[in-house]
Structure 1
Amino acid sequence: MTVPTANQADADVIVVGAGPAGSATAFYLAAAGLDVLLLEKTEFPREKVCGDGLTPRAVKQLLNMGIDIDAPGWVRNKGLRVVGGGHRFELDWPRLESFPDFGLVRTRKDFDQIMAANAVEHGVRLMEGVNVTGPVLDDRSGHVIGVTTKDGRTFRSRVVVAADGNSTRLALGMGLHKREDRPMGVAVRTYYRSPRHDDDYIETWLELWDAETLLPGYGWIFPVGDGTCNVGLGLLNTSDAFKNIDYRDLLKRWVRNMPEDWGFGEATMTAPIRGAALPMAFNRQPHYTRGLVLVGDSGGAINPFNGEGIAYAMETGEIAAEVIARALRTSTPAHRERVLRTYPDVLKDAYGGYFTLGRWFVEAIGRPGVMSFGTRHGLPHPRLMRFALKLLGNLTDRRGDASDRLINALSKVAPPA
């Protein structure tokens, strides 16, 4: 197999996409002593459709990478306020050894730039405004040995990481298409000025009605701390009504029913309503093939229970970097390939069973009556809801309490796929 040598390559590793997945991957690769080129098609600061909320799982990753979360602009929250079935109550983030007991909110316009800058500070070479159009393949082996760009340039490396999101051109260029047996979600959001912009809790509404139909999904209010709140909703494709919903109109109708003290209305909206797809439960596989590694949304690493993607983007980036660094330390191309091929199995060991539970969950709540039954009968029980917060947020200790052990056991016995 002909692959670029260290002298022939523009970098040891090229990472395409400087979102959370790409910047985390690049950071950990650079920390391992590798020469890393991070290519981003836009220029910072740039907008990104997201809820802007960071669970304790994501906060742990930020702390691991040395991000200064005490700097201005980071807003802490104590937990989750749940609204549904005529109930409203607050659940603090669980106190665990494995994760912090607080969450954060930071707009993606700032967040992604901070992540990329942190990678650069640790030795990563960042190039903005470089639109990657596809992989460069070795003529004999078919392995990825670099990438091409819209302006006609070619960059070569020993390994390429696809961190280019849901519609990844690199994965498609290698023939990796989405799996139809995986759930997909849609998220839409906007921003409103609000007197409650610094609320101690993020808020989720578990009942989204379209006329007489209760939809599988939830609405959210994430106080940003800058005078505004990020307000949005996420819906799953497990409902028959999914394809016929005007999501932007649904968001407007939902907001009209918000309590007045939030201050939401046409006059206080500060941004257009934007939407994005949520690829869940490893909807694109394999996560490694012929020199290409998938991280974050490019491999569908979004939690199907709650639609969280940022934590898993950073975590899969760390896992990928560890495998790549170990592979590039080997003495022969054949040995390097054997190590790289372990990456999909490492991901399945880490998340496969849990994501399978999530798939079963979203299939269940897509059935008429299940979501309504769960909302009516589950919410009145605080102990059950604390268990649900751990389950949906994937927040447990390895040797924790009974609820931790149950969730861990279920994730272990569920078949990874």
Structure 2
Amino acid sequence: MNDFSSTTRRGLDDDAEVIVVGAGPAGSTAATYLARAGLDVLLLEKSTFPREKVCGDGLTPRGVKQLIDLGVDTREEAGWLHNRGLRVVGGGVTLELDWPDLATFPPYGVVRPRQDFDELLARTAQRAGARLLEQTTVTGAITDERSGRVIGVAAKVGPDKKPVTYKAPLVLACDGVSARLALSVGLEKNDKRPMGVAVRRYYASPRTKDDYLESHLELWDRSNPDEPALLPGYGWIFGMGDGTVNVGLGILSTSKAYGKTDYRALMRSWLDGTPEEWGFREHNAVGKVGGAALPMGFNRTPHYRDGLLLVGDAGGMVNPFNGEGIGYAMESARLAAECVIQALARPEGPAREKALAGYPIALKQSLGHYYRLGNVFSKLIGNPVVMRTATKYGLPRTTLMKLVLKLLAGLYDPRDGDYMDKMITVATRFAPSA
């Protein structure tokens, strides 16, 4: 824990120098960087660890880089199941694509259950000096009556939901898709940006150990062998290495089926059509079906306003190309922490605000152009005709699919890459920022 010395940037009524709301990947990452810089950080989490989250549990090399940057040991000896690439299934074709060999990102992805993963990151933040308070549900922001600036949060603590307040000069909203903090100050989501819905379940399966993350671009209901039906959305099969497999599917808001579909029934229809020996049947299920919304493509902005920074899912950081959220939540958290550290080294006022205004600028420079392309992509594949055509004619072309993998997973070297990297870099450079 940091000392409360005369050098603190806390006001007389403050409980910390920075409040971070939510101890998921975004919040714990931000809290770790902030605490390591010597700031007094209060990390508020509504649940208690360990806790589950609905997720595919897989990270591409882009996400692994964020873990490595944070100082997390990602070796297999440390409990991470490594994978070497992505297996794409669709149009009667199965294609195994290795992760690209790049200077910027490691050559492997990882799988780890969120129940374990999130606690590992939260404990990392604690070891760095952040003060973690569990069973603390933040209900909204506290604002200054005169300026409207966010100066803290209101919360309910413990099983008896005792109302409390916490104050700090800056607050990071890392509270996920619910975005309670943002909504409490009138920051609504942009309905023109894509959203996704994902459902997943664990199954005991012989496919538990796999060198590849598996993505199904076509979901077939084969319950009637005479009339197989193509279902909306895409599916995944991620071996967990512990005897189980994480199986799930996602649907984009650009699909006509979005909001009109029983997603759990949809998943059952798909899995009932998979080979019996894979084990994706009710009697092999481990736990319940879980569902979650995926806020994509910067669907809530501004990412900084009046003492409040939106980080991770709260700011719509999910990649609209592939639905990956963890790595981008951590990436936005690192950028937010850098700006906050610089801001709190300055006197309160215009100089500090100048540093904080650098956060949305850094996000746009890092991801804005790429996400704008992703938003266009999500609209295209929401059309089933476009999706079927792309699957039919694109999948058999290995070179093209290597380019697509780099684009979809954001795995390209913008400076010293190959010709594919240069093509993607040029495309993102000319796309307007999201």
TM range (shorter): over 0.9
Instruction: Please state if 1:108 is matched with 2:108.
Output: no
Equivalent of 2:241 in 209, 220, 225: 225
| Partner of residue 36, structure 1 | 41
Aligned to 1:411: 428
Q: For 1:85-164, what aligned pairs fall within 5 Å after superposition?
A: 85-150=91-156, 151-164=162-175
- Of residues 396, 400, 414, the one that matches 2:412 is 396
**Residue identity opposite 1:249 in structure 2:** A
Question: How many Å apart are 1:195 and its aligned residue?
Answer: 1.3
Q: State the match for 1:333 in structure 2.
A: 349
Structure 1 stretch displaced more, 329-338 or 386-395: 329-338
Q: Which residue of 1 aligns with 2:298?
A: 282
Q: Deviations over 1:125-159 (max 9, x none)?
A: 11101111111111211111111112211111110
TM-superposed deviation, 1:250? 0.8
C-alpha deviation, 1:333, in angstroms? 1.9
Answer yes or no: is the 8 Å Cα contact 1:216–1:371 preserved in 2.
Answer: no
How far off is 1:309 after superposition?
Answer: 0.3
1:135 is paired with a residue whose SS is: strand
- 2:219 aligns with 208
Counterpart-to-counterpart distance in 2, 1:403 and 1:214: 32
Q: Which residue of structure 1 aligns with residue 284 of structure 2?
A: 268
Residue identity opposite 1:62 in structure 2:
L
What is aligned with 1:64? 69
2:307 is equivalent to residue 291 of structure 1: yes
> Are the counterparts in 2 of residues 143 and 290 from structure 1 also a CA contact under 8 Å?
yes
* Contact in 2 for aligned 1:214/1:371 (Cα 8 Å): no
- Distance in structure 2 (CA, Å) of the matches to 1:294 and 1:393: 23
SS in 1 for 2:329: helix
CA root-mean-square deviation: 1.4
The answer (yes or no) to whether the contact 2:232–2:257 under 8 Å persists in 1 is no
CA contact (8 A) 2:173 2:311 kept: yes
Q: What is the CA-CA distance between 1:214 and the residue it aligns to?
A: 4.8
- TM-score of the aligned structures, taking structure 1 as reference length: 0.96
Counterparts in 2 of 1:356-375, with a 5 A limit?
356-375=372-391
Give the CA deviation at 1:8: 3.0
Q: Report the residue type matching 1:186 in the other structure.
A: V
**Partner of residue 189, structure 1:** 200
Letter in 2 for 1:388: V
| Percent of aligned pairs with the same amino acid | 56
List gaps (5 residues or longer) in structure 1. Answer: none
Runs of 5+ unmatched residues, structure 2:
1-8, 157-161, 222-226
| Residue deviations 1:147-173 (CA, integer Å, cap 9, x gap) | 111221111111000000011111001
1:174 equivalent in structure 2: 185
Q: Aligned equivalents of 1:215 and 1:58: distance in 2? A: 29
For 1:281 and 1:90, locate their aligned partners in 2 and report how far apart those are by CA, in whole Å: 27
SS in 2 for 1:243: coil
Q: 1:95-116, CA deviations, whole angstroms, 9 ceiling, x for partnerless residues? A: 1010011111011100000000
Q: Offset at 1:267?
A: 1.1
User: C-alpha separation between the residues in 2 aligned to 1:234 and 1:107?
Assistant: 18
Aligned partners of 1:61, 1:95: CA distance in 2, in Å?
17
Q: Does 1:49 align with 2:54?
A: yes
CA distance in 2, matches of 1:340, 1:173: 20
Counterpart of 2:89, as a letter, is: V
Please give the secondary structure, in 1, of the residue aligned with 2:193: coil
Instruction: Determine if contact 2:199/2:291 at 8 Å carries over to the other structure.
Output: yes
CA distance in 1 between counterparts of 2:200 and 2:132 reads 29
Report how far residue 34 of structure 1 moved.
0.9
Q: In the comparison of the two structures, how many residue pairs are matched? A: 414
Counterpart in the other structure of 2:3: none
Is residue 248 from structure 1 mapped to residue 248 from structure 2 by the alignment? no
Which segments of structure 1 move beyond 6 Å, counting only runs of 4 or more?
210-213
Quick one: distance in 1 between partners of 2:255 and 2:54? 23
Contact 1:216 1:365 in 2 (8 A): no
Matched, 1:311 2:316: no
Q: Are 1:215 and 1:366, in contact at CA under 8 Å, matched by a contact in 2?
A: no
Q: Is the 8 A contact 1:216 1:238 kept in 2?
A: no
Change (3 A) 1:99 1:216: farther
TM-score (norm 2): 0.93
